[in-house]
Amino acid sequence: MSDIYQEAGLPLWLRPYEVLVTSSYTALIETIPDTASIHSIKSRFPNISSLRDYFVAKYEENSPNFKLAQRNFVESMAGYSILCYLLQVKDRHNGNILLDEEGHIIHIDFGFMLSNSPGGVNFESAPFKLTRELLEVMDSDAEGTPSEFFDYFKVLCIQGFLTCRKHAERIILLVEMLQDSGFPCFKGGIRTIQNLRKRFHLSLTEEQCVSLVLSLISSSLDAWRTRQYDYYQRVLNGIL
């Protein structure tokens, strides 16, 4: 998907990382330097209660650096939102979302995707994670109040979805090649591939896809079940 965005000349941003398999049960996973998880940022700076506070403290509100960090944040948020929706990436607590020095978010730990979820319960039912604190960095809020950066996020999500849709067969084929691998994400059987194909909505026109993406954003806005999953992780595992 990162290649697809780049080939199309889109500013949507992803940070792929390498995994070198060393046996059936072990691998070497590439370190992503100059990053920290949202959880560790909040742990390290107890006076910072939200991601917006961190951006203000690090980049100086209303400065050119602040605006650039916001732009980087939005471009990565859009890239990962489409990825999380299409591949149904779950377990998106703040220990699995990193922030780099330039303001990009980076998702890690893809142990739950396509058809499996933590505990076998699909608690994270929103299309992707779009909580209040993520919206606040885009100058919006839990209601999705329009702002320059939130509008930019919407445009990028639409462009990203339409572009990935043009390459649907390329993405589906890669997933199909692995369906007999025994990976837990294929526990849904043949429905795993069928549901992946459905999420591309190949029968819709591009105009209908615009409405579809806006509805995905709307149903992700500070979704109750997403908030509850974060709360569950905070209480059970101390993840802020």
Task: Give the model confidence (pLDDT) of 200-231 as tens digits.
Answer: 999 999 999 999 999 999 888 876 556 666 66
Q: DSSP string of the chain? A: -HHHHHHTT---------EEE-SSS-EEE----SEEEHHHHHHH-TT--SHHHHHHHHH-TTSHHHHHHHHHHHHHHHHHHHHHHHHT-----TTSEEEETTS-EEE---SS-TT--GGG-----SSS-B-HHHHHHTT--TT----HHHHHHHHHHHHHHHHHHHTHHHHHHHHHTTTTS--GGGTTTHHHHHHHHHHT-TTS-HHHHHHHHHHHHHHHBT-HHHHHHHHHHHHHH---
CATH assignment at residue 187: 1.10.1070.11
What is the structure's pLDDT at 25? 86
Calculate the average pLDDT of the chain.
Answer: 89
Residue 138: predicted pLDDT? 93
pLDDT value for 84: 94
Residue span of the structural domain in which 49 resides? 2-237
pLDDT tier at 115, thresholds 50, 70, 90: confident
pLDDT at 121: 64
Could you tell me the two tokens for 138? Answer: 């885009």
Q: What's the pLDDT score for residue 214?
A: 92
Question: What integer pLDDT is reported at residue 88 of this predicted model?
Answer: 93
Domain total in the chain = 1
